[in-house]
Amino acid sequence: MEYIKVTKDNLESEHICCAISNNNDVQVSSKKAWLRDRFDDGLVFLKSIERGKCFIEYIPAENAWNPIQADGYMYIDCLWVSGSLKGHGYSNDLLGECIRDSREKGKKGLCILSSAKKKPFLADPKYLKYKGFSVCDEADNGIQLWYLPFTDGAEPPRFTDRARHPHIEERGYVLYYTNQCPFNGKYVPIVEQTAKENGIPFLAIRIASREQAQDAPTPVTTYALFFNGEYVTNEQMNDAKFLKLASEMSKT
């Protein structure tokens, strides 16, 4: 199996796996702009030469866009293998390379977000457990921080106090998001417009810096939707999904 490391030098010419290939599409351009600025922070984006969703993205935890305290660890933004590429050992290959690279860089171990039961856009807890990861912290909304220490006695990573207890003061729907997820470039404006057309209070807050992300009121910063102060979901929404959710929430 062959893999390509995406860098500043080849970013424009490479397909980034989790969005359509047209570089002029806002989903692709927003993600690539986000990646371009992260490479200087030590981000690694490794993907299969096969066309499809098959890649790993990781970064030194000190520079992660998440409210975690994990000095000396490597944080995995995303490990994604799907479709026809599943079941061929790609996940093991990509994670193995992350482990090798992180050890070589002197890291204490790896950490990644997941949950007790599989949630959309989060790592599969069954796979993490199989690979030797364990839970080191958990937020009130069920989002968990898992870690794989390289040495005995390594201090476990943890969430910030604010992220461990997700809550905000604003009423209505409030969405925190980043351009790390390419789908946001397309669907956040769609949901904003849908909410406006249907008279639903909605505020989208784009997290635009590492400092903002590390101070976020939620462990998941790529997409975190709140309603009347309480966390609802990290699942990206289109107009139909949002209207269905809003209808269900109005009954509670």
What was the pLDDT predicted at 89? 85
* Bridge pairing between strands 158-159 and 202-206: unpaired
User: Which residues have C-beta within 8 Å of that of residue 13, sequence separation ≥ 6?
Assistant: none
From residue 189, alpha-carbon distances to 42, 168, 231, 235, 238 in Å are 30, 22, 20, 15, 10
Domain 163-250 carries which CATH code? 3.40.30.120
From residue 80, alpha-carbon distances to 6, 31, 147, 234 in Å are 15, 15, 18, 16
User: Do 185 and 137 form a contact (C-beta atoms < 8 A)?
Assistant: no
Q: Which residues of the chain have pLDDT under 50?
A: none
Domain 3-160 superfamily per CATH: Gcn5-related N-acetyltransferase (GNAT) (3.40.630.30)
What was the pLDDT predicted at 25? 85
Q: Which helix (H) or strand (E) holds 135?
A: strand 134-138
Q: Structure pTM?
A: 0.94
Instruction: Break the chain into its structural domains and give their ranges.
Output: 3-160, 163-250
Closest CA to 214 of 38, 62, 67: 67
